[in-house]
Structure 1
Amino acid sequence: MSCRGTHARVLARLAKVDVLVIDDWGLAPLKEQERRDMLEILEDRYGNRSTLMTIISTSRRSRAMNSGTLVGKWIPGMPSNR
């Protein structure tokens, strides 16, 4: 079993969970591959499955956004302190 095959299976499983809960989104900056993986999961789930995200406070989110995280960039209408 290759690591790449395992990785793809994990992403596919996350896309199929009825309700995916992501807690404290944006707490730490994501690496490039992590951003791509999250986008793939969210795209696969869009319109098909529920996703619940808890997001760090707006002041912490603002600092996190300035540090290169993706907080608020994928969530339309998300208020910002900017």
Structure 2
Amino acid sequence: MDVQSSSSEYTLTVQLPDHIKHEMVTISVLKGSKLKIIADAWHMEAECHFEWVINFPPHDIDMSGVHAQLGADGVLVIGVHRRPRYHV
């Protein structure tokens, strides 16, 4: 899992095996600014379960702004919007 950040968004990218399809990926929001990603090919026995928990800094992300796309090449890209920072 590769994590990149900009001033407006975090981008998480991971190459999944060809046998993982979009219906096999679950993304959930956990308490404490955490994102859990599970990719599971339940019909297989080897190299079939992948799981990540990503911890973000407190109050840094907008969990309503999470979007994901699984490309035909097996690359899962997840974008998480950051909350704007106000400087005084």
Q: TM-score, normalised by structure 1?
A: 0.25
Decide which structure has greater strand share: 2
Q: TM-score, normalised by structure 2?
A: 0.24
